[in-house]
């Protein structure tokens, strides 16, 4: 089966320490997202390179966007189609990562648009652990099914 052209891959890291379930979400960097919060967070993810295995892309993107290296038993989730048509393939893994070591890669952005001025912008400007009910509020609407899949897999009320 051919790979969709708009395929993104990522990891949903979770832990069960302080509440029944917490998930690690990333806030996109750059001026367009600076003042957005609820409904703006995402799992760390990104585009697959041509010929790259999807799971390898998910792991690479997570490390690039967070500077952290999760490890454990990965749970493959069913890919989700975003409102814009992009497909997001995700794996969940239980891992208690210290977000204090967070660092993100950057990209060049022309800002303001058509100004000819470019700046380096972090792909992710912050990450954080969110308890289940808050995570459902923070995550992008199109990625909510990824969280719901994890909850069903773990037997958590959705």
pLDDT at 8: 96
Supply the pLDDT for residue 157. Answer: 74
Q: How large is the C-alpha radius of gyration of the chain?
A: 15
Task: Give the Cα separation of 2 and 64 in Å (integer).
Answer: 26
- How many angstroms separate the CA atoms of 134 and 83, rounded? 22
The CATH number of the domain holding residue 102 is 3.90.79.10
Q: Which domain holds residue 111?
A: 7-154
Whole-number Cα distances in Å, 67 to 12, 88, 105: 15, 21, 8
Question: How confident is the model at residue 41, as a pLDDT?
Answer: 98
Regions of the chain short of the pLDDT cut 50: 1
Model confidence pLDDT, tens digit, residues 38-58: 999 999 999 999 999 999 999
In a domain, 109, yes or no: yes
pTM: 0.93
Tell which residue, 14, 32, 17, has the closest CA to residue 91: 14
What pLDDT score was predicted for residue 96? 95
Q: How many CA atoms lie within 13 A of 66 on its CB side?
A: 29
pLDDT digits (tens, 9 = 90+) for 141-155: 999 999 999 999 998
Q: Which pLDDT score is estimated for 121? A: 94
Query: Judging by DSSP bridges, how do beta strands 7-15 and 87-94 pair with one another?
Result: parallel
Domains of the chain: total: 1
What's the pLDDT score for residue 1? 44
Does residue 1 lie within any of the structural domains?
Answer: no
| 52 belongs to a structural domain | yes
Cα dihedral across residues 57, 60, 66, 72: positive or negative = positive
Cβ atoms of 102 and 5 closer than 8 Å? no
Q: Which of 136, 3, 13 is nearest to 72 (CA)?
A: 13
Q: What is the pLDDT of residue 2?
A: 53
Tell me what pLDDT residue 78 has: 97
Q: How crowded is residue 68: how many other Cβ atoms within 10 Å of its Cβ?
A: 20
Indicate whether 2 belongs to any domain: no
Rounded-to-integer distance, Cα 63 and Cα 74, Å: 15
How high is the pLDDT of residue 4? 60
Asked if residue 60 is part of any domain, the answer here is: yes
């Amino acid at each position: 089966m051919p790979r969709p052209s708009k395929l993104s891959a990522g990891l949903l890291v979770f832990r069960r320490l302080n509440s029944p379930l917490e998930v690690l979400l990333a806030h996109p960097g750059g001026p367009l997202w600076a003042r957005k919060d609820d409904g703006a967070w995402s799992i760390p993810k990104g585009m697959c390179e041509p010929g790259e295995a999807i799971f390898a892309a998910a792991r690479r993107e997570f490390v690039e966007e967070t500077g952290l290296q999760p490890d454990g038993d990965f749970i493959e989730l069913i890919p989700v189609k975003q409102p814009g048509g992009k497909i997001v393939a995700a794996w969940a893994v239980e891992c208690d990562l210290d977000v204090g070591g967070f660092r993100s890669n950057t990209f060049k952005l022309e800002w303001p648009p058509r100004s000819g001025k470019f700046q380096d912008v972090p792909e992710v400007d912050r990450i954080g652990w969110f308890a289940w009910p808050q995570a459902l509020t923070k995550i992008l609407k199109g990625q909510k099914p990824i969280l719901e899949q994890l909850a069903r897999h773990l037997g958590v009320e959705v």
